A and B are shown apart, each in its own frame.
Chain A
Amino acid sequence: MADIKTRDFSAASAVSILDPQLRKALAQVGTGFDAARRAAIDEVSQELWDEWREEARQIKIHTLDHLDYYLDLLDQNVTKAGGHVHFAKDAAQANDIMGELVRTRNIKVATKSKSMVSEELSLNPALEAQGVDVYETDLGEYIIQLAKETPFHLVAPALHKTKEQVAQLFTDKLGIPYTEDINGLAAAARIALREKFLQADLGISGANFLVAETGTLVIITNEGNGRLSTSAPRIHVGITGMEKVIPSMQDLAVFLRLLPRSATGQGITSYVSMVTGPRRADDEDGPEEFHLIIVDNGRSKMLADPDLREALYCIRCAACLNICPVYQKVGGHAYGWVYPGPIGAIVTPSLIGLKEARDLPQASSLCGACREVCPVKINLPRMLLHLRQKSAESPDSSERSAGLVPNLVAGGYTRLMRSPSLLKLSHTWGRWKQNVWAAMPFFPLTKRNGMIRKTSLPLLSRWTRSRDLPELPKNAFRDIWKKELSQDKDGR
């Protein structure tokens, strides 16, 4: 599997927040992708959009609830069309299947169109270990492959790179003259990869959808690399998570309406390609062999958990990343594995374990924007809370996100709020501290406009490091009540 750096979430986000270049790239996520998404929805009307979302959600609920049936149907129909289906329990097994295929077919060069699952499995290193030269062909994926990085975003993997960085990368790796012209850079990639498409023995693709009824693999692309990867080489291998299946070809219509609009604001992408088996005897071209590798790799655990099953409805549009205040600040790499953003904060702990990724469910303000934009109406905040609860209540301390100090603080706070006399005592002390002792050199306190700007008091100093703390008002409500408001002569 891909390298896991999820434990470094806090440290990595602290670094990326201060990176001015990331600030610039991430600022465009809202103005670019999300604005385009909203415009595309306005064009069809929110009402119709919500009808589509509900239809898509119902299809996903039904399919996932009967997944064994639809995987079986899919397998039968791929086989009937002349293809081969292979099932993999985990990453190692998926890579072994691919290894077996490239060995027995003497494959030397492979081109790959964009596939998040292949990132999850670390398929490229596994193929390279078999002596296969594998080329990413989506422009963004190609850039990060050359830079030896992981995707920064589900739809735009090289979002964090400036044109200057890409220019330098292409000069170093492709030996082309330095140019910051984006058209020129894309043209250089076209020339370099065109040669590879024509050399390749193997084309690898992911799948956006798998139609059980006909045994069809569907990919949705804009560049044309998906078409070339599934047409030019003599073997095509599709590799994908088991949750991608849908029952009928007619179910595809609603997803073709939702996915491009949610991802890039397009009414439809430049290309949608539907592959059903290898080329037929009469066809002019196309692969002689078609294989489909269906991967579990932790998904059956999510399926088994009624609180997490919903995360498998995801169609990887990245709308939740684009709208998320946390993703917009920390970017994709801080999440430490393959899937970033709110959906990543759910999928990652579910697939690699809460122990490794216990901090990710905390990476949310629970504002609910992700749920509102989700084209299949996934209730992401609910699952983030569920994972937080699971982490907090875990008997295994390595699964708990909060350390000893926050737990003590939370425990103390609970005690304080439950005891009227303790609360009164602390308010009295607080007023004295804030009003009388504020300027004393021992634990000093800075105030402005009714706010405490800074204090070095233990615990509260952490709060005032990044926020102001309102001053306690001059008179406590309990005293006002007693003196002025209560009708009861005892002040109750």
Chain B
Amino acid sequence: MDGTLGVPKAEFLDSVRRSLDRQPVAPDPAYPRLLDDLSSLQDQTQRIRARIAETRPVLLDKFAEVAQARGWNVHRTSDPENAMAHIQSLADSLGVKNAVRSEQEVFGQVMVDAPLEAAGINMTTVSHGPDSSRESLRSSIIAADIGLTGADYAVVETGSVIVLPRKGLSRLVSVVPPVHLALVRPEDLIESLDDLFVLRRLEYQEKGGDMGSYLNFITGPSRTADIEQTLVVGVHGPKEVHLVLLG
């Protein structure tokens, strides 16, 4: 592995420092947000969690409304059986032959594999074993007509589903197939972008400075207006996105 290319960092930073007329050993800028320690982030998180718990019914309504407006097809039900029936009829109406889903807790609650397989659909679950199966996983995702995921967070302010790709959760399942379906549980809900980033910062500090390699906001279908400012959906990502809200 080669090291740093280009100019050495010290030289680059020196030139920036000269431009700013800053001293070589300037004091830290003491930016308030960067001074938060673990316990301050824990306190903030506790307050956020308490506020959300208190207002959850309102937040659920609001999330359903904002998500729908941002392009999700929202189906709301607190009954896992009903959620499953909805997914089944959706797969049927889309003519799905191949489906791929992530390995997430919510699929223990809404058990989609058996009914979809019974309907003749070829189901793949994301989970790589030895290195060779990474390639076969990729092929299954490319072949899939629909990708199913849970949500790590659902942001009321923006109508976004947040996924944190990791073991069991591919980056590609929610972007490569032409249709994406996300299952959102009431406990996934957070109110605002500010809440989200406090929670992420807490996890970063708790895990000793590693909160994973990727975080993705998904808000509605893939879109473009690059030709004559005319809206087209489904240019590189899914053209159709469904959200099953379990609450």
Contact = CB atoms under 8 A, between A and B. Distances in A.
Given A139-B226, A253-B194, A285 B7 contact: no
B213 interface: yes
A248 B34 contact: yes
Contacts of A282: 166-167
Given A247-B34, A252-B197, A140 B226 contact: yes
Given A213-B34, A276-B211, A250 B222 contact: no
A272 B159 CA distance: 13
B114 interface: no
B77 to A, nearest CB: 25
Nearest to B16: A68
B78 interface: no
A89 B226 CA distance: 33
Interface string B54-76: 00000000000010001100000
B93 interface: no
Interface string A106-132: 000000000000000000000000000
Interface stretch (B82-90, B104-112, B115-123, B228-236): B228-236
B216 interface: yes
B51 interface: no
B95 interface: no
A284 B7 CA distance: 34
Contacts of A198: 142
A43 to B, nearest CB: 11
B7 A93 contact: yes
Nearest to A232: B172
Interface stretch (A222-230, A340-348, A390-398): A222-230
A389 interface: no
Nearest to B138: A285
Contacts of A104: 2
Nearest to A162: B228
B236 A224 contact: yes
B26 to A, nearest CB: 7
Contacts of A42: none
A231 B137 CA distance: 14
Interface in B195-247: 196-198, 200-201, 204, 209-230, 232, 234-238
Contacts of B34: 213, 247-248
B22 interface: yes
A66 B134 contact: no
Interface string A207-245: 000000110000000111101101110000000001000
Interface of B: 2-9, 11-13, 15-22, 26, 28-29, 31, 33-34, 66, 70-71, 126-128, 134, 137-138, 142, 158-160, 165-172, 175-176, 192-194, 196-198, 200-201, 204, 209-230, 232, 234-238
13 contacts: A68-B13, A68-B22, A81-B210, A86-B6, A100-B2, A101-B5, A156-B226, A230-B214, A242-B16, A268-B160, A271-B217, A284-B169, A284-B171
